[in-house]
Structure 1
Amino acid sequence: MTSQQLYEQYTAQMRKIADVKYALAVLQWDQETYLPAKGASLRGQQMATLSEIAHQLFADQKLGILLNELSAADGLTDTQQRNVTLTLEDYKKNKKYTSAFVRELSESTSRSYHAWIEARKQNDFRVFEKSLGELIRLKKEETQVLGFEQHPYDALLNEFEKGATVAWLDTLFDELQQPLQKLLSTVMQRPQPDDGFLRQHFDKDAQWRFGLDMLKRMGYDFEAGRQDISEHPFTTSFNACDVRVTTRIDENDFTSMTWSCLHEGGHALYEQGLPAEQYGLPLGEYCSLGIHESQSRLWENCIGRNKSFIEYNIPLIRQYFPQLNQAGPQQLFAAVNKVKPSLIRTEADELTYHFHVMIRYGLEKKLMEGSLDVKDIPSFWNESYKALLGVDVPDDKNGCLQDIHWSHGSFGYFPTYSLGSLYAAQFFAFMQKQDPGLLSQVAAGRYTPIHQWLQTHVYQYGRAYTSSALCNKITGEPLQLKYFIQYLTSKYRAVYHF
Structure 2
Amino acid sequence: MKSAALYNEYKTKMQKIADVKYASAVLQWDQETYLPPKGNSIRGKQIATLSEIAHQQFTDEKTGALLKELLDKNDLSDAEKKNVELSLVDYNKATKFTSDFVRQMSELTNKSFHAWIQARKENSFAGFQQPLDDLIKLKKQEADILGYEKHPYDALMNEYDKGLTVAITDKVFADLKPQLSVLLNTIKNKTQVDSSFLHQHFDKDQQWKFGVEILKRMEFDFEAGRQDMSEHPFTINFNNADVRVTTRIDETDFGNMTWSCIHEGGHALYEQGLPGDEYGLPLGEYASLSIHESQSRLWENNVGRALPFWQHNFPLAKTFFSKQFGKITTEEFYRAINKVQPSLIRTEADELTYHFHVMIRYEIEKMLIDGTIATKDIPAYWNEHYEQYLGVKVPDDKRGCLQDVHWSHGSFGYFATYSLGSLYAAQLYAAITGENDSVEKEIAAGNNSTLLHWLKKNIYPYGRYYTSEELCKKATGETLNSTHFINYATKKYSDIYNT
Give the TM-score, by structure 1 length.
Answer: 1.00
Matched, 1:299 2:299: yes
Structure 2 counterpart of 1:328: 329
Matched, 1:274 2:240: no
Structure 1 counterpart of 2:189: 189
Q: Distance in 2 between matches of 1:259 and 1:321?
A: 16
Deviation of the 1:486 alpha carbon: 0.5
Structure 2 counterpart of 1:438: 439
Structure 2 counterpart of 1:368: 369
Q: Distance in 2 between matches of 1:70 and 1:314?
A: 55
Within a 5 Å distance, the mapping from 1:466-477 to structure 2 comes to 466-477=467-478
Identity %: 60
Equivalent residue of 1:226, what SS?
Answer: strand
Matched, 1:200 2:216: no
Within a 5 Å distance, the mapping from 1:258-269 to structure 2 comes to 258-269=258-269
Structure 2 counterpart of 1:340: 341
Q: Distance in 2 between matches of 1:448 and 1:214?
A: 15
Structure 2 counterpart of 1:83: 83
Q: Distance in 1 between matches of 2:70 and 2:424?
A: 34
Equivalent residue of 1:340, what SS?
Answer: coil
Structure 1 counterpart of 2:353: 352
Q: Distance in 2 between matches of 1:74 and 1:175?
A: 45
Matched, 1:39 2:35: no
Q: Distance in 2 between matches of 1:271 and 1:244?
A: 10
Q: Distance in 2 between matches of 1:19 and 1:120?
A: 33
Structure 1 counterpart of 2:175: 175
Matched, 1:155 2:155: yes
Within a 5 Å distance, the mapping from 1:364-403 to structure 2 comes to 364-403=365-404
Matched, 1:283 2:283: yes
Deviation of the 1:171 alpha carbon: 0.8
Matched, 1:135 2:130: no
Deviation of the 1:183 alpha carbon: 0.2
Q: Distance in 2 between matches of 1:326 and 1:255?
A: 18
Deviation of the 1:476 alpha carbon: 1.0
4+ runs deviating over 3 angstroms: none
What amino acid maps onto 1:429 in structure 2?
Answer: A
Structure 2 counterpart of 1:70: 70
Structure 1 counterpart of 2:124: 124
Equivalent residue of 1:420, what SS?
Answer: helix
What amino acid maps onto 2:172 in structure 1?
Answer: L
Q: Distance in 2 between matches of 1:479 and 1:173?
A: 13
Root-mean-square deviation over aligned CA pairs: 0.5
Structure 1 counterpart of 2:232: 232
What amino acid maps onto 2:328 in structure 1?
Answer: A
Deviation of the 1:330 alpha carbon: 1.2
Deviations 1:360-391 (A, max 9, x none): 00000000000101011000000010110010
Structure 2 counterpart of 1:490: 491
Q: Distance in 1 between matches of 2:154 and 2:261?
A: 32
Q: Distance in 2 between matches of 1:320 and 1:449?
A: 28
Q: Distance in 2 between matches of 1:439 and 1:495?
A: 18
What amino acid maps onto 1:310 in structure 2?
Answer: W
Equivalent residue of 1:160, what SS?
Answer: coil
Deviation of the 1:74 alpha carbon: 1.7
- How many residue pairs get aligned? The number is 498
Deviation of the 1:410 alpha carbon: 0.1
Equivalent residue of 2:244, what SS?
Answer: strand
Deviation of the 1:314 alpha carbon: 1.6
Equivalent residue of 1:65, what SS?
Answer: helix
Deviation of the 1:75 alpha carbon: 1.2
Deviations 1:31-54 (A, max 9, x none): 000000000000000010001001
Structure 1 portions without partners, runs of 5+:
none
Deviation of the 1:161 alpha carbon: 0.8
Q: Distance in 2 between matches of 1:346 and 1:316?
A: 23
Deviation of the 1:140 alpha carbon: 0.4
Equivalent residue of 2:491, what SS?
Answer: helix
What amino acid maps onto 2:344 in structure 1?
Answer: L
Q: Distance in 1 between matches of 2:231 and 2:289?
A: 21
Deviation of the 1:494 alpha carbon: 1.6
What amino acid maps onto 1:398 in structure 2?
Answer: R
Deviation of the 1:315 alpha carbon: 1.0
Structure 2 counterpart of 1:478: 479
Q: Distance in 1 between matches of 2:172 and 2:97?
A: 31
Deviation of the 1:102 alpha carbon: 0.4
Structure 2 counterpart of 1:216: 216
Structure 2 counterpart of 1:25: 25
Q: Distance in 2 between matches of 1:332 and 1:455?
A: 30
Structure 2 counterpart of 1:144: 144
Q: Distance in 2 between matches of 1:175 and 1:281?
A: 37
Q: Distance in 2 between matches of 1:133 and 1:59?
A: 28
Deviation of the 1:158 alpha carbon: 0.2
Structure 1 counterpart of 2:250: 250
Q: Distance in 2 between matches of 1:290 and 1:123?
A: 31
Q: Distance in 2 between matches of 1:160 and 1:291?
A: 10
What amino acid maps onto 1:144 in structure 2?
Answer: D
Structure 2 counterpart of 1:104: 104
Q: Distance in 2 between matches of 1:304 and 1:377?
A: 33
Deviation of the 1:311 alpha carbon: 1.4
Q: Distance in 1 between matches of 2:476 and 2:315?
A: 35
Q: Distance in 1 between matches of 2:162 and 2:370?
A: 20
Q: Distance in 2 between matches of 1:106 and 1:371?
A: 26
What amino acid maps onto 1:446 in structure 2?
Answer: N
Structure 2 counterpart of 1:405: 406
Higher alpha-carbon deviation: 33-42 or 322-331 = 322-331
Structure 2 portions without partners, runs of 5+:
none
Equivalent residue of 2:158, what SS?
Answer: helix
Q: Distance in 2 between matches of 1:212 and 1:407?
A: 28
Q: Distance in 2 between matches of 1:314 and 1:79?
A: 44
Deviation of the 1:310 alpha carbon: 1.2
Deviation of the 1:493 alpha carbon: 1.3
Deviation of the 1:65 alpha carbon: 0.3
Q: Distance in 2 between matches of 1:314 and 1:375?
A: 45
Q: Distance in 2 between matches of 1:195 and 1:433?
A: 32
Structure 2 counterpart of 1:463: 464
What amino acid maps onto 1:495 in structure 2?
Answer: I
Deviation of the 1:448 alpha carbon: 1.0
Deviation of the 1:99 alpha carbon: 0.4
Equivalent residue of 1:50, what SS?
Answer: helix
Give the TM-score, by structure 2 length.
Answer: 0.99
Structure 2 counterpart of 1:15: 15
Deviation of the 1:490 alpha carbon: 1.0
Deviation of the 1:125 alpha carbon: 0.1
